């Protein structure tokens, strides 16, 4: 670390995302102030296509059926929300079938 602020972020992956990336939960120490959008970039770098092809479209935007839950609240309006120390972020594929 370079001496900046370090935030502990817990990430939970539900349904098919957890199978694809190989973990259900992980805690990450992330340096600097980051947004949810920045976290998506960090997770894409870490997990590659196993993560990105499930949650992002070809232009890097969140797919419409992916729900991001931040501290037990669904984040719908923006991914520009700044993360805080000890935040919990969950990724869920909201797909129904019959």
pLDDT-derived band at 79 (thresholds 50, 70, 90) equals confident
The tokens describing 83, both together, are 């993360």
- Distance from C-alpha of 12 to C-alpha of 91, rounded to nearest angstrom: 6
Pairing of strands 6-13, 88-93: parallel
Q: Where are the domains of the chain?
A: 6-93
- Helical H runs in 1-98? 16-21, 36-47, 49-55
- Distance from C-alpha of 33 to C-alpha of 55, rounded to nearest angstrom: 22
Position 1 scores a pLDDT of: 41
- 39 pLDDT above the threshold of 70: yes
- 98 pLDDT above the threshold of 60: no
Q: What is the mean pLDDT of residues 51-66?
A: 92
Mean pLDDT of the chain: 90
- The architecture that CATH gives domain 6-93 is Roll (3.10)
- For residue 75, the tally of other CB atoms under 10 A from its CB is 17
- 90 pLDDT above the threshold of 80: yes
């Amino acid at each position: 670390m370079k001496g900046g602020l370090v935030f502990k972020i817990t990430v939970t992956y539900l349904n098919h995302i957890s199978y694809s990336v190989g973990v259900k939960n992980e805690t990450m120490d992330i340096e600097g102030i980051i947004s949810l959008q920045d976290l998506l970039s960090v997770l894409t770098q870490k997990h590659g296509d196993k993560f990105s092809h499930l949650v992002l479209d070809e232009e890097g935007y969140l797919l419409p059926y992916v729900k991001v839950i931040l501290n037990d609240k669904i984040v719908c309006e923006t991914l520009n929300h700044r993360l805080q120390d000890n935040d919990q972020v969950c990724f869920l594929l909201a797909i129904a079938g019959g």
